[in-house]
Structure 1
Amino acid sequence: MTNYRNFPMVPRIIYGRESISQLDTIISAKRTDDGKMVFLVDYFFENNTEFLKQIPIKANDILEFIDVTHEPKTSYVDEIRDTLVKKGTIDGVIGIGGGSVLDMAKAVALMITNEGSSSDYQGWDLIKNAGVYHVGIPTLSGTGAEVSRTAVLTGPTKKLGLNSDFTPFDQVVLDPNLIKDVPVNQRFYTAMDCYIHCIESLTGHFLNAFSRSYGEKALELCQDIYLKKDVWDNDSDEKLMMASWHGGMSIAYSQVGIAHALSYGLSFMLGTKHGIGNCIVFDHLEEYYPEGVREFKEMVKKHAIDLPKGITKGLTEEQWETMINVAYGMEPLWQNALGPDWKNSMTKEKIRALYEKM
C-alpha cells in the first residue's frame, strides 16, 4: 500500500494591500492576561519609524530586531529562545521580514516548546512538540518561507531545515505594499529563488499533479514579471508575492534540486546568501536545466544584474572538502534531480568541478 505524505498547510491567510493593518485584530484572540507577543523584525527596519508604527506592540510585548547579515544559525535561534523563556509566558511569535527572518520566527516558535538545541532537530520530522502560535509577514517575496514546512538553519556541521508538520505558520499576512520598495538586485535574487524552485520541481523525479499545478503557475508569474514586463509596478508586486506562495506550495509535495544543494554548500562555507547563491550556481547548470538556465540568463541580461564571480577562489583543501560534503549530503535534493541512482552520475569530483566554475 502506498504511504502518502499528509502535509499540513498554513490554515489562515489574509491577502491585500494594507492588510497588515488587521494584525492587531488577528493576534488579539491569542493573547493571554500574563503573556507576551514576540515580534521578530528584520533589522533593516530598525530606524524606519513609519514602518514600525504598523506593528501593534502592547506594553508587555517584546520587539527583537533580527540581524540577517548572515544566514540564520542554530546558535542564534537558541540564544533568542533562551532569552525569551526567561521573560515569562510567550503567547506567540510574529516574524516580519524576508525568508531568513521568517525561518527564524518558525524556528524560535518551535524551540520554545522543544528541549535542547535547534541543531538537534535539523532534518525531517524530528520536532516532537507543536510550537507556540506563530505568524509570518513577508517583506520580501520569492523564498516561499511563508508557506513552507521548513525553517532553514546553518548548524555546527550542516545547513539543513527543521522540516516538520509543526513548522508552518498558523497565520500568514500577505501585504504587497510591504515589498514595493525592495532594492532591484535583492528583489531579483529572491524572485529567482522562486523561479529556480519551479524549474527544479517541474523537472524533478518527485513531480506530481499537485506540485505541477502550483509550480506552473509560479513559473508563469515569474516569466510575466521578468521577461514580459519592462517596468516594475503594483501588478509586479502582487504577482511576485503570489509566485512566492505558489512556488513554496509546489515543493510541498516534491523537492528542489541541484542548485539548492550546491547553494547550501556555498552558504555553509562562505556565508553566501541563499538567493544570491542559487543564482550563482544556476548560471552554471546548463547540463541539467538547459531551458531554465537559458531563460535565467536572458532575465539577468534584461534586468542588468551583475552576478558575483570568483567566489570559490583561494579555498583551502579543508574548505573544499567541507563545502562539497555539505552539498553532497543533501540526498533528497539529488534524488529529485537525478533519480534514485544519483550517486552514479554525481560524484564529489563533479561537484568540485561545478564549484570551480563559480
Structure 2
Amino acid sequence: MSYKNFPMVPRVIFGRGSFNQLNDVLASKRLGINAPFIFLVDDVFKNNSWLTSRIQLSYDDKIIFVSAEEEPKTSQVDDLVEDIILMSKQRPSGVIGIGGGTLLDLAKAVSIMLTNEGSAKDYQGWDLVKSKAIYHVGVPTISGTGAEVSRTTVLTGPEKKLGINSDFTPFDQVILDSELTRGVPKDQWFYTGMDCYIHCIESLTGTYLNAFSESYGNMALDLCKQIFLEDHLSDIESQEKLMMASWHGGMSIVYSQVGVAHAMSYGLSYLLGTKHGIGNCIVFDHLEEFYPEGVKLFKQMKAEHGIVLPKGLCADLSDSDFNVMIKVALSLEPLWENALGKNWKKIITPEKLKSLYQKM
C-alpha cells in the first residue's frame, strides 16, 4: 500500500496581536531590492488603517486590494499574475494573502502561477503543478474555511470548479491572529464557521477516515459545538477557538476528503456564483439521508443563531442548468467515494442529484 506524503505548513505564529510580526518574518525572505513582496488584501480593509498601516512597504512592494464578493476564478488568477509581472522588475520575493478563504486561495494560486507556465485552468486537478511556488504567506481574517492549512486552492474555471491540489500549494508561513477576525458580520461568521463544521462531519463519516484525520476532526467538531451551541464564551474565546477549529478541520480533510455537501455546493457555485460557505449550508440543510446526526445538529445551530437560509435558488432553472450543476458535482469523484464508498455511482445518479437540487 502506498501512503500519502502530504506537506504541512512548516511555520505558524499564533496569538492575538501576532500580525505585528509579519514585517519581521518577511525581512529575511527578501530576495533583493527589485524583488517586491506582493500583498493581496481583501478590499473590505481598503479604508481600514488599523490593518493596512501595520504593513510596512519597502522598495517596490505593493498592496493589491481584491474583492472577495465572488468566488475566485482562474481568469482572475491569470490577470493578477500578469499585473504582478508587469509591475515587478524581477520575480517577487513572496505573495502574502490577507483575508478570508477567497484571498488565501488567490494568494496560493498566484504564487504557483508565477513559476508555472500557462493558465491557472491548466492546473485544476490533482498533482499537475510541476514547479515550486514562490514563497507565500497566509493571514486569515475570518475563520472556518481551512484554506490557511489546505493543499488546495479552489477555483472556478471556464469548464469546472476544482482546486489546484498539489504539494506546492500550502503556505510556507501562516499567521493566526484572531484579533483580525473581529467585526466579521454575524451571517458570514456563521457560514464560514459551518464550512469548518461540515468539513468535520464529512471527514468523520467518510470511508477515507483514519486515525490521523479522526483526531483532528474530533477536535474541530468539539470546538464547533462549544462555539455555536454554548453561550458562556467571551468574544475573544470564541474567536480564538474558531481559528483553531478552522485549522484542525482543514487538517482533518488534508489526509481524508470532504463529501456530498462540498461536491454539490461546487455545482451551485459554478452555475449561480453562490459563495462557498453559504452554498455548503444550503446544501447540507437537505442531506439528512447522508448525515442524519450532522444535519440535526446543524439545524440546532442555525436555530440557536437565528440564521435563515435563502430558499428557491433552483426554482427557475432549466434542465440544461441542472445538467451543468450535476456535471460539475459528479466530476468530484474522490469526494463521492469518500462519502459513499467505491460503489457510489450506483447510489448517486444524475436523477438523484437533480431531485436534491430541486429542494434548494
Q: TM-score range by the shorter chain?
A: over 0.9
What's the counterpart of residue 292 of structure 1? 294
Normalising by structure 2, we get a TM-score of 0.98
Take 2:315 and 2:10, find their aligned partners in 1: how far apart are those partners?
A: 46
Give how far 1:265 is off: 0.2
Give how far 1:328 is off: 1.0
Take 1:104 and 1:356, find their aligned partners in 2: how far apart are those partners?
A: 32
Take 1:121 and 1:250, find their aligned partners in 2: how far apart are those partners?
A: 24
State whether structure 2 residue 304 is matched by structure 1 residue 302. Answer: yes
* Preserved contact between residue 97 and residue 138 of structure 2 (Cα < 8 Å): yes
Give how far 1:230 is off: 5.7
Matched ranges for 1:1-358 at <5 A: 2-31=1-30, 32-86=32-86, 87-89=88-90, 90-229=92-231, 233-358=235-360
Take 2:100 and 2:89, find their aligned partners in 1: how far apart are those partners?
A: 27
Take 1:310 and 1:243, find their aligned partners in 2: how far apart are those partners?
A: 31
Take 1:119 and 1:220, find their aligned partners in 2: how far apart are those partners?
A: 37
Larger deviation, residues 224-233 vs 332-341:
224-233
Take 2:296 and 2:56, find their aligned partners in 1: how far apart are those partners?
A: 45
- CA offsets per residue over residues 54-77 of structure 1, 9 Å max, x none? 222224101101111110000000
* Preserved contact between residue 34 and residue 59 of structure 2 (Cα < 8 Å): no
Give how far 1:138 is off: 0.0
Give how far 1:231 is off: 5.8
Take 1:56 and 1:13, find their aligned partners in 2: how far apart are those partners?
A: 20
Give how far 1:85 is off: 1.3
SS where residue 96 of structure 2 aligns? strand
Take 1:321 and 1:253, find their aligned partners in 2: how far apart are those partners?
A: 31
Take 1:273 and 1:265, find their aligned partners in 2: how far apart are those partners?
A: 11
Take 1:57 and 1:250, find their aligned partners in 2: how far apart are those partners?
A: 36
* Preserved contact between residue 33 and residue 60 of structure 2 (Cα < 8 Å): no
Larger deviation, residues 268-277 vs 312-321:
312-321
Q: Which amino acid aligns with 2:38?
A: V
Take 1:14 and 1:328, find their aligned partners in 2: how far apart are those partners?
A: 38
SS where residue 153 of structure 1 aligns? strand
Query: Which 4+ stretches in 1 moved above 3 angstroms?
Result: none
Give how far 1:229 is off: 2.0
Take 2:74 and 2:232, find their aligned partners in 1: how far apart are those partners?
A: 40
Q: Which amino acid aligns with 1:22?
A: Q
Q: Which amino acid aligns with 2:260?
A: I
Normalising by structure 1, we get a TM-score of 0.98
- CA offsets per residue over residues 154-187 of structure 1, 9 Å max, x none? 0000000000000000000000100121111000
Give how far 1:238 is off: 0.4
Equivalent pairs, count:
357
Give how far 1:88 is off: 2.2
Q: Which amino acid aligns with 2:288?
A: E
Give how far 1:216 is off: 0.2
* Preserved contact between residue 265 and residue 279 of structure 2 (Cα < 8 Å): yes
* Preserved contact between residue 33 and residue 59 of structure 2 (Cα < 8 Å): no
Q: Which amino acid aligns with 1:44?
A: V
Take 1:102 and 1:129, find their aligned partners in 2: how far apart are those partners?
A: 20
Take 1:290 and 1:230, find their aligned partners in 2: how far apart are those partners?
A: 27
- Give the gaps of 5 or more residues in structure 2: none
Give how far 1:51 is off: 1.7
Root mean square deviation of aligned Cα: 0.8
Take 2:68 and 2:356, find their aligned partners in 1: how far apart are those partners?
A: 27
